[in-house]
Amino acid sequence: MWDRRAEYLENHDGDTVRMVLDQGFDDTKTVAVRLLGVFAPELKQQGGPECRAFVEAWFQSRLSTSTRWGFVVTTARMKVADREQTTLSRYVGTVTSLDGTDNLNLAVMGFIAANGYGGGIGS
């Protein structure tokens, strides 16, 4: 498991986001992150576009003009192997605000539950 400061680029849907990670020493890496434990509806399902819009609004409301690195990505570690968990070439992890007070994964799960949307694949 690792934690990296991150910059939001875009989100594909309600449970996959693209982030630029601060690797340190002016080194960056762009990755796709599958939100751990979140099963948002697929874009073609009821609630899919709404979940996508919710994630985009969550980021937009938390973007900071004072720092590029307004978020933290924490990856999940596989229990069996000594490496980061991935699915379909995406890291699996959690996204929080830089100060740790807001958790995107929990926010999306709450949005899905509050609106009665069924999850996508795997739910």
Q: Structural domain of residue 60, as residue ranges? A: 3-81+94-115
Residue in this structure with the two tokens 């949005």, named with its chain if needed = 111
Residue 86 lies in a domain: no
pLDDT per residue as tens digits for the range 38-59? 999 999 999 999 999 999 999 9
Mean pLDDT of 11-35: 93
pTM of the model: 0.85
Phi, psi for residue 107 in degrees, rounded to 5: -65, -45
Domain count, the chain: 1
89 is a domain residue: no
Asked if residue 121 is part of any domain, the answer here is: no
Q: What would the pLDDT profile of 59-108 be if each residue is shown by its tens digit?
A: 999 987 778 899 999 988 665 555 555 565 678 899 999 999 999 999 99
In a domain, 111, yes or no: yes
> Would residue 18 count as lying in a domain?
yes
Q: How confident is the model at residue 3 (pLDDT cuts 50, 70, 90)?
A: confident
* Alpha-carbon torsion angle 74, 80, 81, 84, nearest 10: -20
Q: What's the CA gap between 90 and 87, in Å, rounded?
A: 5
DSSP 19: E
Q: Residue 22 belongs to a domain with what CATH number?
A: 2.40.50.90
In the chain, % of residues over pLDDT 70 = 85
